[in-house]
């Protein structure tokens, strides 16, 4: 039995853009976000309040959030790594943040300059202050399957770190394949182990697609009853501190799969995410970056255009 409805968390404006060196204007990002909203995406991670020297592309986080469209039923969120990031997030008026750690010690050090335990200790007062300020909080656990530095990651570590994030008050944890190296058997093994102790409705899966296994991993997640999946329009993305990380699972490829499997992607009573409009959103970024995008749907369209021109 597969779920009959899933929730897509669009991470294109944050994960999709954070690794891009070509500067994208705030207005360009806003156009991207407006089109994602028009496509029917209701959870959109728009930026990060990290150290702008480490992720210059997202240095305009505050300005971007001030200009976001007001859209019914749409929740925008942003990554927060420390107290300073939370100060900026509160000031911006955003009402959902995401805190992030990992299941690999080395990756955690490279990404946020802390051990895993230090990251939990750092995020405890941040999550509390955010919740007291009326915000909701998501958590990420990176490198849940394979780490670029430590290779294989134990499922015990993944479950332990995930549980610690829940103890901080997060409402959802994204189990993440940062370098896109996982295959369905990894997902079945690690995620089912997590689900023995933690509630499936609070687990999201965040796949990158370096080896082309992200959609297969989604199917493994669906088989386990997971109903929240992260994706990035166009298939852009990658973490600057994880060598070898390619783009995220493309939103349009996920929507194609779910549509064909007759799994709903909209809120109850609402239309689902519109595949064509997701591609329109992605094309805003493709124009600015002046290059083709990695998603299968994008390649299919280019092939159709080329055939029309013959």
Q: What are the catalytic residues?
A: 239
247 binds, among Mg ion, ligand HMG, none (CB under 5 to 8 A by kind): none
CA distance 221 to 75: 23
DSSP state of 242: S
Least separation in angstroms between CB 1 and Mg ion: 29
CA distance 37 to 10: 10
In three-state secondary structure terms, 151 is: strand
Structure tokens at 6: 């899933």
Least separation in angstroms between CB 294 and Mg ion: 14
- Could you tell me the end-to-end alpha-carbon distance of the chain, in angstroms, rounded to an integer? 45
277 binds, among ligand HMG, Mg ion, none (CB under 5 to 8 A by kind): none
Residue-level length of the chain: 310
112 binds, among Mg ion, ligand HMG, none (CB under 5 to 8 A by kind): ligand HMG
Run of H or E including 228: strand 228-231
Residues 139, 98: contact at Cβ < 8 Å? yes
Least separation in angstroms between CB 270 and ligand HMG: 27
Residues 111, 102: contact at Cβ < 8 Å? yes
Q: Which is nearer to Mg ion, 230 or 274 (CB)?
A: 230
CA distance 76 to 68: 9
Q: Which is nearer to ligand HMG, 226 or 239 (CB)?
A: 239
> Footprint of ligand HMG on this chain (CB under 6 A)?
15, 18, 48-52, 54-55, 79, 81-82, 84-85, 88, 100, 111-113, 140, 142, 176, 178, 206, 208, 239, 241
Least separation in angstroms between CB 230 and Mg ion: 7
Give Cα 185 to chain centroid, integer Å: 21
Q: Which is nearer to ligand HMG, 45 or 252 (CB)?
A: 45
CA distance 254 to 218: 8
7 binds, among ligand HMG, Mg ion, none (CB under 5 to 8 A by kind): none
Least separation in angstroms between CB 310 and ligand HMG: 40
> Footprint of Mg ion on this chain (CB under 5 A)?
15
Q: Which is nearer to Mg ion, 169 or 240 (CB)?
A: 240
**DSSP alpha helix (H) spans, 102-183:** 105-112, 116-132, 155-167
Q: Which is nearer to ligand HMG, 216 or 261 (CB)?
A: 216
Give Cα 76 to chain centroid, integer Å: 12
Least separation in angstroms between CB 293 and Mg ion: 17
- Taking CA atoms, 118 is separated from 12, 38, 156, 292, 297, in Å, by 28, 40, 19, 40, 41
Q: Which is nearer to ligand HMG, 145 or 275 (CB)?
A: 145
């Amino acid at each position: 039995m597969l779920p009959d409805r899933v929730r897509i968390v669009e991470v294109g404006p944050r994960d999709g853009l954070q690794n891009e060196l070509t500067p994208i204007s705030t207005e360009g990002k806003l156009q991207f976000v407006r089109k994602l909203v028009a496509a029917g995406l209701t959870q959109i991670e728009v930026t990060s309040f990290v150290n702008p020297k480490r992720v210059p592309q997202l240095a305009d986080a505050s300005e971007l959030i001030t200009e976001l469209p007001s859209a019914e039923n749409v929740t925008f969120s942003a990554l927060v790594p420390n107290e300073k990031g939370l100060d900026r997030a509160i000031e911006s008026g955003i009402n959902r943040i995401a805190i992030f750690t990992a299941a690999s010690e080395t990756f955690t050090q490279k990404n946020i300059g802390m051990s895993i335990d230090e990251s939990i200790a750092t995020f405890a007062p941040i999550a509390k202050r955010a919740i007291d300020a009326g915000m909701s909080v998501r958590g990420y656990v990176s490198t849940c399957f394979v780490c670029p530095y430590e290779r294989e990651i134990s499922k015990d570590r993944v479950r332990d770190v995930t549980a610690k994030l829940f103890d901080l008050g997060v409402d959802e944890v994204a189990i993440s394949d940062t370098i896109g190296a996982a295959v369905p058997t990894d997902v079945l093994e690690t995620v089912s182990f997590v689900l023995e102790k933690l509630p499936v409705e609070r687990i999201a899966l965040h796949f990158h697609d370096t080896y082309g296994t992200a959609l297969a991993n989604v199917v493994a997640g669906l088989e386990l009853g997971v109903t929240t999946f992260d994706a990035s329009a166009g298939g852009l993305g990658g973490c600057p501190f994880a060598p070898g990380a390619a783009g995220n699972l493309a939103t349009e490829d996920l929507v194609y799969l779910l549509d064909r499997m007759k799994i709903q992607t909209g809120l109850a009573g609402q239309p689902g995410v519109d595949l064509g409009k997701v591609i329109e959103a992605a094309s805003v970024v493709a124009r600015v970056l002046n290059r083709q995008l990695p998603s299968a749907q994008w390649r299919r369209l280019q092939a159709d255009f080329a055939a029309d021109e013959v």
